[in-house]
Amino acid sequence: MKTVDSFNFSGKKALIRVDFNVPLNKSFEITDDTRLKAVLPTVSKVLKDGGSAILMSHLGRPKGGPEEKYSLKHIIPYLSKMFGQEILFADDCIGADAKAKAAALKPGQVLLLENLRFYPEEEKGDVEFAKKLSVLGDVWVNDAFGTAHRAHASTAVIGQFFKDKVCGYVMQAELDNANKLLTSGEKPRTAVMGGSKISDKILVIENLLDKVDNLIIGGGMSYTFTKALGGKIGKSINEPDKLDLALSLLEKAKTKGVKLYLPLDNIIADDFSNDAKRQTVKTGEIPDGWEGLDIGPETVKLFSEVVAGSKTVLWNGPMGVFEFANFATGTIAIAKAVKEATQKGGYSLIGGGDSAAAINNLGFGNDVSYVSTGGGALLEYFEGKTLPGVAALEK
Ligand code: 3PG
Ligand code: MG
């Protein structure tokens, strides 16, 4: 793969696929700017070389036509500030205006294209649409790790129209960091998996059983394991059709010599709300009418010890309903343990989505080794899948 460092962008228009799919609030303010900040090094290198940058991205999941709330124009003020310069904008990602603006682009300038998903052709991986995008630039840079699991027009299909395909710094860093957990990281390696469903993470868990020494399972999905083991889980979230699967994962972990940790106790609630009545009980002893919303203090102690004693840690998914302050304790404790492992010289990778948000909200973003910009893409990579966005760079 060509890298940003090995490529001279002088006099070139770099068409850069980025993942600017960032959360916006009702006033269109960016509530997490991780993905925006991440692209700064790649774009800066292009401009420093004497090239110009054409940025293309999707935002949200529009229904196949323009929708005001998904316009990328909302992020222009942020980008102007970040780059310290004017950001040009084409309000259609293909067509005459985009073409003219791209053609007029001078070295050092940045042009942002409107949301690619305003065309259904983007997600369909339409070849003609990819071709129309490709004419805008001289070289294609893929820096959208967060969308690398999609075989879309701008993330993969477009590659065939370029002689020069360059792997952006974000893409490179994400793959390098993920590979630390999979292959190169020091042992013991520990994966902390949370979130509500086993079905979302089953392939990841299976693949990681060959890579890690410890696997910690918390969050909503732990109740399916508890139920499978014959415990009482009250009305806790669970997947009744995944009980055999849960047992087989426990069996596989044993066969492979991986230590699999499940919660010892839970904080339970009589209602799914922050103000619900709560109490702490042993795992598997949740009374009828109650549900587990967090891990309990014994579990926090156990999980924190395992994490803090690890040399390589992946954390993906919350330990409880951390949006409710009264049930965020377990998730915050894990974040602290990950920080501690890092302070002791260990390596830590925070899988995107909720765990990244938790780490950033606690202000620990700089206290861990790497916060991934990928959610689904990172999980698919950990499943052992080839990501279409990466494959397109390798062809
Ligand atoms: C994401 O946030 O998951 C990526 O930007 C990809 O978006 P998608 O899940 O809508 O394809
Ligand atoms: Mg997604």
Over residues 206-220, the pLDDT tens digits come to 999 999 999 999 999
pLDDT exceeds 80 at position 353: no
Chain segment 136-193, per-residue pLDDT in tens: 999 999 999 999 999 999 999 999 999 999 999 999 999 999 999 999 899 999 999 9
Model confidence at 32, pLDDT cuts 50, 70, 90, reads confident
Q: Is the pLDDT of residue 88 over 80?
A: yes
For residues 17 and 147, the answer to whether their CB atoms sit within 8 Å is yes
Q: What value does the mean pLDDT take over residues 13-39?
A: 95
Q: Is pLDDT larger for residue 199 or for residue 86? A: 86
Under the banding of pLDDT at 50, 70 and 90, the label for residue 135 is: very high
Higher pLDDT, 361 or 291: 291
Residue 256: per-residue pLDDT: 97
Peptide bond between residue 188 and the one before it cis (omega within 30 degrees of 0): yes
Tell me how far the alpha carbon of residue 154 is from its chain's centroid. Answer: 19
- Condensed to tens digits (0 to 9), the pLDDT of residues 299-310 reads 999 999 999 999
Sign of CA dihedral 169, 170, 173, 175: negative
pLDDT of 205 > 90? The answer is yes
Share of the chain above pLDDT 70, in %: 100
Torsion of CA 335, 337, 343, 348, to 10 degrees: -60
Centroid of ligand 1 to alpha carbon of 147 (angstroms): 6
pLDDT per residue over 309-322, tens digit each? 999 999 999 999 99
Instruction: Check pLDDT > 80 for residue 252.
Output: yes
The predicted structure's pLDDT at residue 361: 85
- Find the 79 Cα to ligand 2 centroid distance in Å: 23
pLDDT tens string 271-299: 999 999 999 999 999 999 999 999 999 99
Task: Look up residue 56 and give its two tokens.
Answer: 């293309």
Mean pLDDT of the chain: 96
Is the predicted pLDDT of residue 352 greater than 80, yes or no?
Answer: no
Distance 325 CA to ligand 2 centre (A): 25
Tokens 């806790």 locate to: 236
Please give the pLDDT value at position 223.
97
Given the residues 353, 374, 375, 389, the one annotated as active site: 353
pLDDT at 260: 97
The response to whether residue 117 sits with its C-beta less than 6 Å from ligand 1 reads no
- Whether 150 lines ligand 1, by a CB cut-off of 6 Å, is yes
Residue 165 — φ and ψ, nearest 5°? -125, 125
Active site residue 353: yes
Q: Which tens digit of pLDDT belongs to each residue from 62-77?
A: 998 999 999 999 999 9
Give the pLDDT of residue 157: 98
What average pLDDT does range 124-134 have in this prediction? 98
pLDDT per position as a tens digit, 258-275? 999 999 999 999 999 999
- Point out the ligand 1 atom lying closest to the alpha carbon of residue 21: 5
Among residues 125, 21, 134, which one has the least CA distance to residue 377?
Answer: 21
Which of ligand 1's atoms lies nearest the C-alpha of 60? 10
Ligand 1 pocket mutation, candidates 19, 20, 63, 152, criterion most atoms within 8 A of CB: 19
Catalytic-residue membership of 125: no
Among residues 349, 235, 335, 245, the alpha carbon closest in space to that of 292 is found at 235
